[in-house]
């Protein structure tokens, strides 16, 4: 660490535009640098074998100690947040009532127009059923909160293979929230390269558009685009200079919006406003890279320094915490 | 307010007193030495955010805030390199930043120029850390004098060791990805240079028909050689009539060369057609994620392990979109960049070490290490489905 005195000297030098010469600055900094690696080191190890032994032992000890202390702090934080989360889960419970959910978001300054979530397929036998139920819950909460667009990222893409079944499950879930079918919102469910699955648009009701994403929509899509562009260029239909960020953006956005424009008149905003990550720490795990340039990210588990790699359970209080955080507000005990 | 000012002055006085300074320095050294005992991230990226806000909240000029930010950078680089991080990537200036006030852009450019030229002057000092400076981004957008400083700094440190400091300077990630696509397309739309017939001469195994033909037409042997060197379609067509055996030889060899070179389907479909009629290209189907990876500005660096953004803004803001995409841990910290120090970075590093050690003990619990494998399987599955 550079001492206060030398720091002041260097800062003063910066303000006065090189008052010090190069040599002066070097001599000032020399004492803070590690040993010259190029200097012959034949004698050094022989000179202080005991000291370096003790030093490495000390470092081992310090490593163990810091990790023990850090581990204790992490456990305490986890315990604290587990309690807080339980309290929130009791205080903020949706009771499958759209009015309550609407009340929870009423005070918020802004809501995401396009909400995206990262979910994880667990390893148990009924993992798919659990995942589909989570997706259905998220759909219901979002439609109640007034978020019109929801995209679900799940790495393996298993959801894409059962869109009709998923649509059925979500409809059932919406029915349990809203009651009779004519109060339910319109639901459009689709995935890139898949047709839109959903009820006919009823103009009097709100619409929830849901997009399913998987890791093939990430880097793989950009690779596919490159392949097509390379082929076009080889056939002389395009010059490499024509490839601009605007072109790439238009093409990549089309992948996620095209099925929609074919069937309905709603337009999906290709870049999500908020990305909710249901995992112990913030990791994109193959999420499509192009679209998240300006997306705000919120990880439900990051406060507790979680270690296990499995995804966190999708809970209403975590979802609400993300929305409140996005609006720049603090959640309090008591509604 | 005056009270807190007084307190902070008292605290600063205490912290800058020699014994306190000595103790803090030794503690830092000890912690860095301790960190080295565990796994260390190979590649760390920082978004140095909050210089302006720090300056505003402390009532100093914006430029001064940026200067303090540079000091914080020096501090954190020292921590990183001493603890064994190989590559540090920093987001110094976004292409979008050119939209800021001219005064501030000029001031930032001036700082960059001064710092880079100082780095160049002290080439041997950076050498002690074995760090090499690399500037990533749209250098063509820079003014000539800044560009000169950039080139000088890169040149001066180019012979240094394996540590790298990547400075992203006029950079946005979308621009990077687009350039990578463009360069890949450029590469793939350059025809394979070598004339196929000369390659045949070297590669073709001796074929019986060829030898018998050679014996029969001893006198014409000079002719055959000249033919195989020229690739013009007219000569090949002309020569096909008098000598049938040569035609077979030609087609067989061009097929073998096309399989070894992974030529495109159009060239495979017509093995008889000579190269000059339609240029041969590498098939675009051979483009993979690795191909694009190798065309990114960060090519050759280990995958990004940790990305830290300060000042509580929870976006990537067009930084390292491609690179953070998989197993990077993204950390958003509330602290402003000029205040950023080992104390803020330590919990991040410890958490990462903890997770990695856990994952190594129990690979099933964490996807980090098996991740690539499952990914491969998935991709193949996806491919099969597409077909």
Cα A311 from chain centroid? 12
Instruction: Kindly state the average pLDDT of the residues B249-271.
Output: 40
d(CA B360, CA A122): 20
The pLDDT, as a whole number, for residue B104 is 83
Q: Is residue A33 part of a domain?
A: no
Residues B153 and B45 in one domain: yes
d(CA B187, CA B31): 47
d(CA B55, CA B194): 60
Share of chain B above pLDDT 70, in %: 70
Q: Output the average pLDDT for chain A.
A: 83
Whether pLDDT at B365 is above 60: no
Question: What's the total number of domains in chain A?
Answer: 1
Whether pLDDT at B220 is above 60: no
Helix spans in chain A (H): 4-15, 22-30, 44-47, 49-91, 98-106, 127-145, 163-178, 219-234, 245-263, 316-326
Q: Is residue A315 part of a domain?
A: yes
The pLDDT, as a whole number, for residue A256 is 82
The pLDDT, as a whole number, for residue B179 is 93
Are residues A220 and B332, on separate chains, in Cβ contact within 8 Å?
no
Whether pLDDT at B245 is above 70: no
Distance of CA A96 to CAs A93, A136, A169, Å? 8, 12, 15
More confident residue, A239 or B277: A239
Q: Is residue A51 part of a domain?
A: no
d(CA B254, CA B231): 12
Considering only A7-21, A238-252, B182-196, which range has the smallest mean pLDDT? A7-21
Residues B330 and B241 in one domain: no
d(CA B287, CA A230): 9
B138 touches chain A (CB under 8 A): no
CATH number, domain with residue A140: 3.40.1180
More confident residue, A114 or B362: A114
Whether pLDDT at B18 is above 90: no
B304–chain A nearest CA distance, Å = 12
Instruction: Kindly state the average pLDDT of the residues B51-63.
Output: 89
| Contacts (Cβ under 8 Å, ≥6 apart) of A229 | A238, A243, B181, B185
Residues B301 and B269 in one domain: no
Question: What's the total number of domains in chain B?
Answer: 2
d(CA B26, CA B21): 9
Q: Is residue B29 part of a domain?
A: no
Q: Is residue A70 part of a domain?
A: no
Domain that holds residue B330: 38-187+296-366
3-state secondary structure chain B: CHHHHHHHHHHHHHHCCHHHHHHHHHHHHHHHHHHCCCCCCCEEEEECCCHHHHHHHCCCCHHHHHHHHHHHHHHHHHHHHHHCCCEEEEECCEHHHHHCCHHHHHHHHHHHHHHHHHHHHCHHHHHHHCEEEEEECCHHHCCHHHHHHHHHHHHHHCCCCCEEEEEECCECHHHHHHHHHHHHHHHHCCCCCCCHHHHHHHHCCCCHHHHHHHHHCHHHHHHHHHHHHCCCHHHHHHHHCCCHHHHHHHHHHHHHHHHHHCECHHHHHCCCCCCCCCCCCECHHHCCHHHHHHHCCCCCCCCCCEEEECCCCCCCCCCCCCHHHCCCEEEECCCCHHHCCHHHHHHHHHHHHHHHHHHHHCCCCCHHHHHHHHHHHHHHHHHHHHC
Whether pLDDT at A285 is above 80: yes
Chain A residue whose CA is closest to B17: A4
Q: Is residue A185 part of a domain?
A: yes
Q: Is residue B16 part of a domain?
A: no
B26 touches chain A (CB under 8 A): no
Q: Is residue B149 part of a domain?
A: yes
Residues B126 and B246 in one domain: no
As annotated, the active-site residues of B are 49, 97
Name which of A74, A218, A308 is nearest B325 (Cβ-Cβ). A218
- In this structure, the number of other CB atoms found within 10 A of the CB of residue B242 comes to 10
A223 touches chain B (CB under 8 A): yes
Q: Is residue B387 part of a domain?
A: no
B285 touches chain A (CB under 8 A): yes
Name which of A244, A289, A295 is nearest B325 (Cβ-Cβ). A289
A26 touches chain B (CB under 8 A): yes
Are residues A62 and B175, on separate chains, in Cβ contact within 8 Å?
no
Q: Is residue A192 part of a domain?
A: yes
pLDDT band at B133 (very low <50, low <70, confident <90, very high): confident
Q: Is residue A212 part of a domain?
A: yes
**Does residue A213 sit in helix, strand or coil?**
strand
Instruction: Kindly state the average pLDDT of the residues A216-245.
Output: 90
**Does residue A211 sit in helix, strand or coil?**
strand
d(CA A308, CA A279): 9
| Contacts (Cβ under 8 Å, ≥6 apart) of A40 | none
* Contact between B38 and B89 (Cβ < 8 Å): no
Whether pLDDT at A11 is above 80: no
Whether pLDDT at A310 is above 50: yes
Considering only A199-208, B33-42, B333-342, which range has the smallest mean pLDDT? A199-208
Tokens of B343: 């104390």
Share of chain B above pLDDT 90, in %: 25
Tokens of A57: 């032992």
pLDDT band at B359 (very low <50, low <70, confident <90, very high): confident
| Per-residue model confidence as pLDDT tens digits over B167-181 | 998 899 999 999 999
* Contact between A134 and A194 (Cβ < 8 Å): no
Residues B130 and B75 in one domain: yes
The pLDDT, as a whole number, for residue A17 is 55
Find the radius of gyration of the CA atoms of chain A.
27
Whether pLDDT at A259 is above 90: no
> Most distant CA pair in chain B: distance in Å?
108
Q: Is residue A55 part of a domain?
A: no
More confident residue, A81 or B237: A81
Residues B303 and B174 in one domain: yes
The crossing angle, in degrees rounded to 10, of helices B342-361 and A49-91 is 90
Q: Is residue B33 part of a domain?
A: no
Q: Of A283, A288, A277, A286, which Cα lies nearest the Cα of A211?
A: A288
HSE-up (13 A, CA, CB side) for residue B69:
29
d(CA B130, CA B86): 10
Tokens of A158: 């298993």
Instruction: Kindly state the average pLDDT of the residues B51-55.
Output: 90
B250–chain A nearest CA distance, Å = 25
More confident residue, B194 or A165: A165
Whether pLDDT at B237 is above 50: no
Name which of A62, A218, A294 is nearest B317 (Cβ-Cβ). A294
The pLDDT, as a whole number, for residue A288 is 92
* Contact between B107 and B63 (Cβ < 8 Å): yes
The pLDDT, as a whole number, for residue B99 is 87
| Contacts (Cβ under 8 Å, ≥6 apart) of B21 | A1, A3, A4, B15
B337 touches chain A (CB under 8 A): no
| Per-residue model confidence as pLDDT tens digits over A205-227 | 888 889 999 999 988 999 999 99
Q: Can you name the residues that pair with B87 across neighbouring β-strands?
A: B43, B164
Cα B382 from chain centroid? 27
Phi-psi region of A313 (alpha: psi -120 to 50; beta: other; left: phi over 0): beta
Q: Of B137, B136, B134, B129, which Cα lies nearest the Cα of B158?
A: B134
Chain A residue whose CA is closest to B264: A231
Cα B356 from chain centroid? 24
CATH number, domain with residue B45: 3.40.1180.10
Residues B251 and B145 in one domain: no
| Per-residue model confidence as pLDDT tens digits over A144-160 | 999 999 999 999 999 99
Last residue of a domain, one of B280, B315, B337: B280
Are residues A293 and B130, on separate chains, in Cβ contact within 8 Å?
no
Q: Of B164, B131, B171, which Cα lies nearest the Cα of B43?
A: B164
Share of chain A above pLDDT 70, in %: 78
The pLDDT, as a whole number, for residue A43 is 45
Considering only A170-179, A268-277, A293-302, A324-333, which range has the smallest mean pLDDT? A324-333
Whether pLDDT at A298 is above 70: yes
Q: Output the average pLDDT for chain B.
A: 75
| Per-residue model confidence as pLDDT tens digits over B299-353 | 889 999 999 999 888 989 899 999 987 789 999 999 999 999 999 999 999 999 9
The pLDDT, as a whole number, for residue B258 is 37
Q: A37, A191, A231: which to substitute to probe chain B, counting the most B Cβ within 10 Å? A: A231
Are residues B264 and A234, on separate chains, in Cβ contact within 8 Å?
yes
The continuous run of DSSP H or E covering A209 comes out as strand A207-213
Residues B169 and B259 in one domain: no
Whether pLDDT at A129 is above 80: yes
d(CA A88, CA A321): 9
Chain B residue whose CA is closest to A283: B329
Residues B310 and B172 in one domain: yes
A59 contacts in B (CB within 8 Å)? 30, 33-34, 36-37
Q: Can you name the residues that pair with A298 across neighbouring β-strands?
A: A276
Residues B42 and B111 in one domain: yes
Distance of CA B176 to CAs A238, B95, B181, Å? 20, 11, 9
Q: Is residue B209 part of a domain?
A: yes
Considering only A37-41, A297-301, B323-327, which range has the smallest mean pLDDT? A37-41
Of these ranges, A311-315, B219-223, B267-271, the one predicted with the greatest mean pLDDT is A311-315
Are residues B33 and A293, on separate chains, in Cβ contact within 8 Å?
no
Distance of CA B284 to CAs A230, B258, B263, B292, B379, Å? 6, 15, 9, 12, 17
Are residues B174 and A26, on separate chains, in Cβ contact within 8 Å?
no
Q: Of A259, A135, A214, A166, which Cα lies nearest the Cα of B381?
A: A214
The pLDDT, as a whole number, for residue B45 is 95
pLDDT band at A266 (very low <50, low <70, confident <90, very high): low
Are residues A283 and B188, on separate chains, in Cβ contact within 8 Å?
no
Domain that holds residue A144: 92-326
Residues B250 and B324 in one domain: no
A248–chain B nearest CA distance, Å = 7
Residues B138 and B60 in one domain: yes
Q: Of A269, A301, A317, which Cα lies nearest the Cα of A151?
A: A269
Are residues A309 and B288, on separate chains, in Cβ contact within 8 Å?
no
Whether pLDDT at B381 is above 80: no
The pLDDT, as a whole number, for residue A42 is 45
Are residues A230 and B287, on separate chains, in Cβ contact within 8 Å?
yes
Instruction: Kindly state the average pLDDT of the residues B53-74.
Output: 88
């Amino acid at each position: 660490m550079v001492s206060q005195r030398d720091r002041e000297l260097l800062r003063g030098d910066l303000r006065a535009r090189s008052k010090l010469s190069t040599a002066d600055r070097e001599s000032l900094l020399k004492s803070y640098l590690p040993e010259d690696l190029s200097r012959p080191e034949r004698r050094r190890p022989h000179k202080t074998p005991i000291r370096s032994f003790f030093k490495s032992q000390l470092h081992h000890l310090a490593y163990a100690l810091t990790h023990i202390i850090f581990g204790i702090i992490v456990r305490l934080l986890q315990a604290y947040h587990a309690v807080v989360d339980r309290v929130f889960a009791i205080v903020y419970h949706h009771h499958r009532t759209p009015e309550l959910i609407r009340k929870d978001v009423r005070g918020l300054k802004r809501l995401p127009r396009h909400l995206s979530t990262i979910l994880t397929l667990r390893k148990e036998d009924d993992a798919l059923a659990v995942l589909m139920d989570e997706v259905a819950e998220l759909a219901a909460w979002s439609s109640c909160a007034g978020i019109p667009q929801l995209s679900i990222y799940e790495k393996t893409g298993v959801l894409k293979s059962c869109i009709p079944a998923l649509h059925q499950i979500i409809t059932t879930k919406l029915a349990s929230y809203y009651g009779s079918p004519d109060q339910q919102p319109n639901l459009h469910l689709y995935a890139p390269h898949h047709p839109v699955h959903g009820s006919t648009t009823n103009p009097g009701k709100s619409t929830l558009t849901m997009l399913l994403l998987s890791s093939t929509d990430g880097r793989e899509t950009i690779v596919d685009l490159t392949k097509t562009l390379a082929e076009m260029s080889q056939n002389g239909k395009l010059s490499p200079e024509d490839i601009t960020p605007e072109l790439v953006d238009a093409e990549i956005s089309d992948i996620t919006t095209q099925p929609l424009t074919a069937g309905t008149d709603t337009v999906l905003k290709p870049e999500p406003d908020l990305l909710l990550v249901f995992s112990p720490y913030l990791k994109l795990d193959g999420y499509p890279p192009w679209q998240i340039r300006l997306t705000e990210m919120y990880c439900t588990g990051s406060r507790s320094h979680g270690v296990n790699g499995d995804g966190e359970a999708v809970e209403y209080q975590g979802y609400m915490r993300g929305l409140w955080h996005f609006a720049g507000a603090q959640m309090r005990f008591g509604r | 307010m005056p009270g807190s000012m007084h307190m902070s002055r008292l605290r600063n006085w205490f912290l800058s007193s020699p014994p306190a300074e000595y103790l803090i320095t030794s503690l830092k050294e000890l912690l860095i030495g301790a960190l080295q005992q565990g796994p260390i991230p190979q590649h760390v990226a920082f978004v140095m955010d909050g210089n302006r806000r720090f300056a505003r909240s402390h009532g100093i000029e914006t430029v001064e805030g940026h200067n303090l930010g540079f000091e914080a950078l020096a501090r954190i680089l020292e921590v990183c390199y001493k603890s064994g991080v190989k590559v540090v990537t920093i987001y110094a200036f976004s292409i979008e930043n050119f939209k800021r006030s001219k005064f501030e852009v000029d001031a930032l450019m001036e700082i960059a120029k001064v710092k880079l030229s100082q780095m160049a002057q002290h080439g041997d000092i950076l050498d002690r850390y074995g760090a090499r400076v690399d500037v990533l981004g749209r250098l063509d957008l820079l003014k000539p004098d800044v560009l000169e400083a950039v080139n000088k700094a890169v040149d001066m440190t180019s012979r240094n060791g394996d540590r790298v400091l990547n400075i992203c300077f006029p950079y946005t990630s979308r621009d990077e990805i687009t350039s990578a696509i463009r360069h890949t397309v450029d590469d793939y739309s350059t025809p394979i240079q070598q004339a196929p017939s000369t390659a045949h001469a070297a590669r073709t195994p001796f074929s019986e028909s060829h030898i018998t033909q050679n014996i029969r037409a001893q006198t014409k042997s000079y002719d055959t050689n000249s033919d195989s060197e020229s690739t013009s379609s007219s000569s090949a067509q002309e020569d096909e009539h008098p000598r049938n055996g040569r035609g077979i030889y030609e087609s067989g060899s061009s097929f073998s060369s096309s399989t070894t070179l992974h030529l495109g389907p159009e060239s495979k479909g017509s093995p008889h057609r000579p190269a000059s009629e339609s240029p041969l290209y590498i098939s675009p189907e051979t483009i993979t994620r690795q191909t694009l990876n190798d065309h990114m500005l960060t090519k050759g660096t280990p995958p990004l392990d940790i990305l830290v953004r300060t000042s509580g803004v929870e976006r990537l803001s067009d930084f390292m979109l491609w690179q953070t995409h998989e197993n990077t841990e993204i950390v958003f910290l509330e602290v402003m960049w000029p205040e950023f120090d080992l104390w803020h970075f330590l919990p991040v590093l410890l958490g990462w070490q903890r997770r990695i050690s856990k994952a190594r003990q129990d690979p099933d619990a964490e996807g980090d290490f098996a991740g690539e494998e499952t990914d491969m399987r998935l991709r193949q599955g996806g491919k099969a489905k597409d077909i």
